[in-house]
Amino acid sequence: MKKIKVNKGLLFFLFLFLFLLVGRVYVYDLNQGIVISESEEAGGPEIIYGKPVKGVLFSHKFHVKELGLPCESCHSGIFEMAALSSQEKKDFNMQALYQGKYCGACHDGKTAFASNTKCASCHIGVKGMMPYLKKLSQSQDK
């Protein structure tokens, strides 16, 4: 049975190498986050953060198109107008939100639901990232 292990291992790496070489389907590092561009009226892309934890959704479509928020609500000092830039900041965590930074500026229980409630609304998780990943690879194929 040991013989089989070696064969399968070699075969696996061979195929992995070929796969990566050809590069069409690649192993995506979910930690880097996902950005899906939307139409003009959405007001911006769908952003899924990958750091510090994977699978946190911010939907421009929901906040701009559905809720009708103007760009200045967030892009006047709270967030940079550069997708995924926040996740590079060292203080991008729940504690910061509870202190009123980032999403916590509105999600404080008064303007919008408090950041320490309804976790899975924004934390769509690894599972939640999968459909967006599919959309990303589809749009890249175009």
Partner 1 sequence: MFKEIKKFLLNQPDEGVDKVPEETRREFLKIGLIITGVFAGGSIFSVVSKVAEGLATPEELHKSYPYKPHYSMVFKMDKCIDCERCVEACRATNNVPEYGWRTKILEIYDEKALDQKRIFMPILCNHCNNPPCVRACPTRATIKDPQTGIVKMVSYKCIGCKTCMVACPYNARYFNEEKRAIDKCDFCWETRLSKGEKLTACAAACPAGVRIFGDLSNPASEVYQIVHQLGKPVWTLKPETGAKPNVFYTMG
Binding site for partner 1 (CB under 8 A): 1, 5, 52-56, 118-121, 123-128
Give whichever of 42 and 122 is closer to partner 1, judged by the CB atom.
122
Provide, rounded to whole angstroms, the least separation between the CB of residue 113 and partner 1.
9
Q: Could you tell me which of 112, 115, 82 has the C-alpha nearest to residue 98?
A: 115
Cα 125 to Cα 137: distance, rounded to the nearest angstrom: 19
Provide, rounded to whole angstroms, the least separation between the CB of residue 36 and partner 1.
18
Give whichever of 66 and 80 is closer to partner 1, judged by the CB atom.
66
Cα 17 to Cα 58: distance, rounded to the nearest angstrom: 35
CB 59 within 8 A of CB 83: no
Amino acid type, 67: L
| HEC-encoded secondary structure of 76-120 | CCCCCCCCCCHHHCCCCCHHHHHCCCHHHHCCCCCCCCCCCCCHH
Provide, rounded to whole angstroms, the least separation between the CB of residue 40 and partner 1.
27
Give whichever of 116 and 139 is closer to partner 1, judged by the CB atom.
116
Give whichever of 100 and 128 is closer to partner 1, judged by the CB atom.
128
Provide, rounded to whole angstroms, the least separation between the CB of residue 128 and partner 1.
7
